[in-house]
Amino acid sequence: MHSLFLHDRRAFLGRLALGGIAWQVRGAFADELVRTPVQTEGPFYPDKLPLDTDNDLIIINDAATPALGDVTYLSGRILDSSGAPVRSALVEIWQCDNNGAYLHSGTTNREKRDGNFQGFGRFMTGSTGEYLFRTIKPVPYPGRTPHVHFMVKLKGREKFTTQCYVKGHPGNEKDGIYNSVKDPKQKAAITVPFTPIQGARAGELAARFDIVLGFTPQV
Ligand SMILES: [Fe+2]
């Protein structure tokens, strides 16, 4: 039973990574391209990386117990400023667990940390620029509205950091880092809906966050 579950899970993640789900194609995308604003890295990038750094943050290695929280398939594309997909981009995410604790020695709520949450994950983009993570819907912690931290690493370039926010969350209005982005279009670009996946047996959510980097292709 256990190994069957693992097999199914990996097959599912693999299918998603290969584009098995048809996401909506946006019309006139290039005309609407908005550069993703840089957001602070913050103090909680893991000071010690977990042993498991894959794109499934819900299960650590082959653990039997999943993380607490609203399971979310968080995906998107890494694009350059012309809208072309960026391959070989290392996408890293990190976020607090369902109890507001980060995978960091200086985290708040450390005593309540969910040991089943990976807290950090990585995904290397292919030719489509797509990335995919299975994680939880972010929750608030003292002083911050819910967010997922992103870092994009590309050979020969400065690392890019930003944060992605939950559309409609009431905490957004009071969050200083979120509101440091003044341009409404740039703000909209980091604010994404977390919506239930139709027919998902366990009520999983999907969120789509494209990252537009500020450089043009080198051809
Ligand atoms: Fe944070």
Are the C-beta atoms of residues 153 and 159 closer than 8 Å to each other? yes
**190: CA distance to ligand 1 center in Å?**
14
**148: CA distance to ligand 1 center in Å?**
7
Mean of all residue pLDDT scores within the chain? 89
Section 77-83 average pLDDT: 95
Q: pTM value?
A: 0.86
**218: CA distance to ligand 1 center in Å?**
33
Q: Is the pLDDT of residue 3 over 50?
A: no
**17: CA distance to ligand 1 center in Å?**
26
b/e sequence 160-179, b meaning 16+ C-beta within 10 Å = bbbbbbbeebeebeebeebe
Q: Could you tell me the two tokens for 183? A: 């341009």
Report the pLDDT value the prediction gives residue 218, as an integer from 0 to 100: 61
**42: CA distance to ligand 1 center in Å?**
6
